[in-house]
Amino acid sequence: MSSSRVAIPFILVVVILYTSYIATPDPGALASFLTRDYPPNHNVDNQQSLRAPGLAAEIKVPLEIHIMSKCPDARDCLEQLIAPTLEEIESLVDFQMSFIGRPTADDGVFCMHGPSECLGNILHLCSAKINTPPSPPPAHTYLPFSLCLIHDFKNIPEREFVEGCADKNGIDFQKLNDCASDMGPDGGLSMLRNSVERSRALEAETSCTVRVDGKKRCVRDGGKWKDCDGGSDIEDLVRDIKKIYKEKNGGHERFGEKSKKLSEWIESERIIWTGH
């Protein structure tokens, strides 16, 4: 899926939905903010790695997906490949979600599926931000919330739905809402602009694009896996990440235990999805 222009400034959705939680800004200020110039993030390859006990110079494998928050291919990508992969090897990777949109001539940001998708993108970004430090945050601290959102993405941005996903998965809704409605340089809108610019700089225009160690690994588009050298199964991606990790760390292997939180979430939600 590729992005295109829609006409409504998405941040107004936040104001309408959550007026009991935030002070409503002046609409004129919102409109001017949407067209404010924000330089692209040129440090697109600046990856951070965490240090594990007993491994002083551990280098983790960058794993990144480029998605749209109201895209069925993004949902399939997360549910069928990324979450199960992270369940197995979360400790070996630095995981990141980036988003696909289209900057306009006046420096605005528009999303293929409308303003509510832009807000959905922001909610995903904010859920990761409010779980820092460390940076990048462990995927299990926010990914269950993202999976909840994207499984029923048609309900974005209904407040009851978003708040339910937050409460269910340990995300502070007040902090989430504060981040999403923050129009400052560290707020949700700015993060979305930077994320969109990152995806464009990396030429990731299809939702979902999976990148491993800085290279395109697989694409989910039109309900099918494409350009997946090495295979599109969970086992294929896990194998490749383990191999790269070993190469980066001088032959050292540290496969670790399964992510307990992701395992519990996947098992419980699988029951709901299958109707049992």
Give yes or no for a contact between 157 and 115, defined as CB atoms under 8 angstroms apart: no
45's tokens: 């390859």
Element (H, E) at 102: strand 102-103
Q: How does residue 252 score in pLDDT terms, banded at 50, 70 and 90?
A: confident
**Tokens found for residue 76:** 């399939």
Quick: pLDDT tens for 216-227.
999 999 999 999
pLDDT surpassing 60 at residue 195: yes
Q: What is the pLDDT of residues 115-142, one digit of tens each?
A: 999 999 999 999 999 977 777 788 999 9
The secondary element (H helix, E strand) that includes residue 64 is strand 61-67
For residue 261, name the pLDDT band (cuts at 50, 70, 90).
low
Distance separating alpha carbons of residues 125 and 19, to the nearest angstrom: 21
Q: In 178-226, at which residue ranges do the beta strands (DSSP E only) sit?
A: 209-212, 215-221, 224-226
Can you give the pLDDT at residue 108? Answer: 66
- Is it true that domain 11-18+59-273 has CATH number 3.40.30.10? yes
CB atoms within 10 A of CB 212: 18
Using one digit for the tens of pLDDT, what is the confidence trace for 4-63? 433 333 333 443 344 333 233 333 333 333 333 333 343 444 433 334 444 457 899 999
Closest residue by Cα to residue 38 from 89, 88, 103: 103
Domains of the chain, residue spans: 11-18+59-273
pTM of the model: 0.77
Question: What secondary structure letter does DSSP report for 153?
Answer: G
Tokens of 140: 């299990």
Q: Is residue 214 a contact partner of residue 62, using CB atoms and an 8 Å limit?
A: yes
